[in-house]
Structure 1
Amino acid sequence: MINRRQVRETVLKAIYALQLGNDSTQHVADTIIKKAEFAKKKELRRFAEKLFFKTVEHEEELDEVISKHIKNWDIHRLALIDRLVLKMAICEFIYFEEIPTKVSINEAIEIAKRYSTAKSGRFINGILDAALTDLNESGRINKKGRGLIQQSLGN
């Protein structure tokens, strides 16, 4: 059975291909996301496309959030996979009000462990925790829906 982690992994591959190739965003979406094994499942395909396009569309903003939390380090020196995983998770924080932030963090950690280095999980966790605190304090996180009640109460 296909789950959202596999969808996120496909989106990571699509963003990676976009970064390294010379193809258009739409071409990458058409060849990687729309041809993925989950593509026939409308809800999963929509999630994948939204995550892909939102992450690409808001790249500068997401890089700024990451840069703010990698002390004394240039964002372009980060491992590309780590940077892309961070962008996707922060995109979920800001633009996917139905996904709990804990889910985004856990998924990012697991994907980083699988596709990046042994230390990536802890690194990703640290950056995302700091970014989440900052985004919450600046009022940029707006979560709604089931399982999100604790955030709306200010916890």
Structure 2
Amino acid sequence: MPQLKRREVRIKVMQVLYAHEISKEPIIKIKKDLMSDLEGEDNLTFSDTLIKHVIENEKLLDEFILGKVLNWELERMALVDRIIMRMGIAELLYFPDIPPKVSINEAIDIAKEYCTRSSGKFVNGVLDGIHDDLKRDNKLVKTGRGLLNTESKNKNSGKSRKTPDFKKKKNVPSNKTIKDKNTKKPAVKN
């Protein structure tokens, strides 16, 4: 069986964390059931380490999320959105060899595939804001490959792909919540 790509490993990690959150079964049993086909030392190490960091640091990761949304309770957010954001934040904090843009883009793409229509934008806004804060406060520690500039390029024009800017909402007081009309997602704090 060929070795899985890193995206597929992240999806399996998300599934394990989701099953653990719903069932409250021991993580070892869930990993055995859902990750039995996972091969390759790198994949096993990455998945085990990511799961460990998300579970051990859940409260801290949730504080990061809550620090970026206005007037929103964590329990009201879609569970899969929360899990994906926790994974993305854990990668930013605890995986110095993974470039921040890779962690954020992977989280966005997985959210688009497994969550609601607007989840990608929501996850992007939260993770991008956390990334900016970590960078500003010199708490983003990246080494080796993690230092690479991985900005996405549009293949046709050679220009950078523009991502949504949640900070440029016009005529909206900064202490109010802006909700997406379709999904009632909370706005992202400035």
TM-score exceeds 0.5: yes
Q: Based on CA coordinates, which of the two structures has the bigger radius of gyration? A: 2
Question: Per-residue deviation at 1:42?
Answer: 1.0
Partner in structure 2 of residue 3 of structure 1: 5
Q: Deviations over 1:54-102 (max 9, x none)?
A: 1111100000000000111111111101010000000000000000000
| Aligned-partner Cα distance in 1 for 2:114–2:136 | 31
Aligned residue pairs total 147
Once the two structures are TM-superposed, the CA of residue 149 in structure 1 deviates from its matched residue by 5.2
Residue deviations 1:94-144 (CA, integer Å, cap 9, x gap) = 000000000001100100001001100011101111111112222221000
Instruction: Find the counterpart in structure 1 of residue 71 from structure 2.
Output: 72
Q: Quick check: 1:25 aligned with 2:24?
A: no
Question: Once superposed, what is the RMSD of the aligned Cα atoms?
Answer: 1.4
Unpaired runs of 5+ residues, structure 2, are 150-190
Point out the structure with the larger helix share. 1
Equivalent pair of 2:99/2:145 in contact (CA under 8 Å): no
Aligned partner of 1:137 in structure 2 is 136
- Which letter does structure 1 place at the counterpart of 2:103? S
Matches within 5 A, 1:6-155: 6-33=8-35, 35=36, 37=37, 39-146=38-145, 148=147
| Identical-pair percentage | 38
Shift of 1:26: 2.1
Q: Could you tell me how far 1:3 is from its partner in structure 2?
A: 0.6
**Mapped contact 2:84–2:107 kept (Cα < 8 A):** yes
> What amino acid is aligned across from residue 115 of structure 2 in structure 1?
S
